[in-house]
Amino acid sequence: MLKKLNSAFYGAAFLMATSAIGPGFLTSTAVFTAKLLASFGFAILISIIVDLVAQVNIWRIITVAQKPAQDIAQELLPGLGPILSAMIITGGMVFNIGNIAGCGLGLNVLFGLDTTIGALLSALICVLLFIVKDAGRAMDWFAKILGFVMIGLTLYVAIGAHPPVYLDLQKTFIPDTIDFMSIITIVGGTVGGYITFAGAHRLLDAGVSGIEHKKQADQSAVTAIGVASVMRILLFLAALGVVMRGVAIDPTNPAASVFQLAAGQVGYYIFGLVIWAASVTSVVGASFTSVSFAQSYHPFFVARKQQMTIAFIVIAALLFALFGKPIKVLIFAGAFNGFILAFSLGIMILAATQPRIMNGYKHPKIYLLLGAIVAILLFYFGGLTMIAEIQKALRTS
């Protein structure tokens, strides 16, 4: 029993972490490192703190309440559940199209396949994952194995880039520039939108919930942020090592440029494998989590959960094949997901103050305070960022 619980907790952690590490994650890290240089370390530090506060609050609240996020929102205020679900599912589909695109790019780099064909083949692999008998267990192992592969390969590239570690540490705590757009974007890309709910809903799906599991839920949430943060830091160090040489990163494919400039042609192939692994695991996480937000509204979605997840993957793949997915939209989606995070975290914090929702459990006051502060700051700066991005789009259109 203990072995099964540990497997569920680590599976949930890696599902969330690999959901976060997608093509937008790789792209935004490279773009903002080139823009802010070593000062981007400060943005990463703040984002890790914000991520931890948001993640631990949301995972514990869902685990103790023993209900998915949309049910908690609906009990807090009738009509709020469908609104939250619509936002998460829409954001999940937008990101999933980008994830499918990343799969196609990865197979193009590795094998020279046409990007669209590579994307469709990768979508087929994800579909097969949900067809197997124990899809949940297969999903957990898939996320864990590819998570370790991504970190190991990126560590190799970061070492080869020879980053100025002392300068990085200095500017992490005393930055030359503080860029709120970068903070909101990487927070949104790490725990925004559907991502923060991926692990918590996976725990519910595995039958792990209740007040007796609150500390394990905390540990699983911290592990998830730890894995995603290690990957972010390694990417940052690799990119910083490249740009500090005075070499320009290719704006059309910034992440690939970092890997290639840091480790030559081998680095370019490593990028292909990393972005494929990052993208395909994100397809799995986005699809599973988005469909979990539909299950409260009709027995059809519960009875045909696997079929609905497969349909979600197929629709995203077809939309990519028809319309594609530009890099700028990936970054914008990260900022948008940061705004969704503020909204959803606010709902969870308010729900945590209601004993009728929380089965009589009292959420720690320090959790409530920190969660409220993070939600307000994300809402304010996320709103400013969204307005700025819309204005920029209008000026350039």
Mean pLDDT of the chain: 82
Which residue ranges make up each domain of the chain? Answer: 2-396
Other CB atoms within 10 Å distance of the CB of residue 162: 15
Supply the pLDDT for residue 394.
63
Give the model's confidence band at 2: pLDDT under 50 very low, under 70 low, under 90 confident, else very high.
very low
Query: Tokens 């192992």, residue?
Result: 141
Candidate CATH numbers 3.20.20.105, 3.40.50.300, 1.20.1740.10, 2.60.40.10; the one for domain 2-396: 1.20.1740.10
pLDDT tens digit string along 4-53?
555 666 777 777 777 777 777 788 888 888 889 999 999 999 989 988 99
Query: Tokens 């007796």, residue?
Result: 212
Counting Cα atoms < 13 Å in the Cβ hemisphere of 115 gives 15
Query: Tokens 């990028």, residue?
Result: 271
- Rounded to whole angstroms, the Cα distance separating 91 from 124 reads 22
Supply the pLDDT for residue 89.
87
Strands (E) located in the chain: none
Rounded to 5°, angle at Cα 270 from 269 and 275 = 100
pLDDT top residue among 397 and 361? 361
In whole angstroms, what separates CA 74 from the centre of its chain?
24
Lowest mean pLDDT among 33-37, 83-87, 97-101: 97-101
- Rounded to whole angstroms, the Cα distance separating 97 from 332 reads 14
pLDDT tens digit string along 126-174?
888 888 766 667 777 777 788 888 888 888 888 888 888 888 889 999 9
